[in-house]
Amino acid sequence: PGGQVALGDQLVLSCAVAVGTGPLSFTWHLVGSQALLGTGPHLELSHIGDNDSGHYQCRVSNGDSVAESVPLNVTWLRGTLGERV
């Protein structure tokens, strides 16, 4: 799965769990990076730029086990001169 975002747009990603018990903890990461992008079931990125392209992944934990989403490939669109992006 993947999607394209226009340069400067806002991107909101959502993560949901079909089955789970106990309090759930959500974290967001770029695949290949150890950096934490956010916590909670939604990740909001404002003013998307070229450095925001990549594979985004949500991890959910209930304290006993961890589940990971399928990485979502996000790329940004470049416009041509005079084109609104």
Each residue's pLDDT tens digit, 9-42: 788 999 988 877 788 999 999 998 888 999 999 9
Smallest CA-to-CA distance from 4 within 80, 60, 72, 82 is with: 72
Rg (CA), the chain: 15
pLDDT score for 1:
56
Q: Which CATH number fits domain 2-76: 2.40.160.20, 3.50.50.60, 2.60.40.10, 2.40.430.10?
A: 2.60.40.10
Q: Please write the tens of the pLDDT for every residue from 53-74.
A: 889 999 999 988 999 999 999 8
User: Whole-angstrom Cα distance, residue 60 to residue 3?
Assistant: 22
Q: Which two tokens stand for residue 17?
A: 């769990």
Q: In angstroms, rounded to a whole number, what is the distance separating the alpha carbons of residues 21 and 52?
A: 33
Domain ranges of the chain: 2-76
Note if the pTM is more than 0.85.
no
Q: How confident is the model at residue 2 (pLDDT cuts 50, 70, 90)?
A: low
pLDDT of residue 82 exceeding 60, the answer is no
pLDDT of residue 78: 65
Rounded to the nearest 10°, the torsion over CA 71, 9, 5, 27 is 0
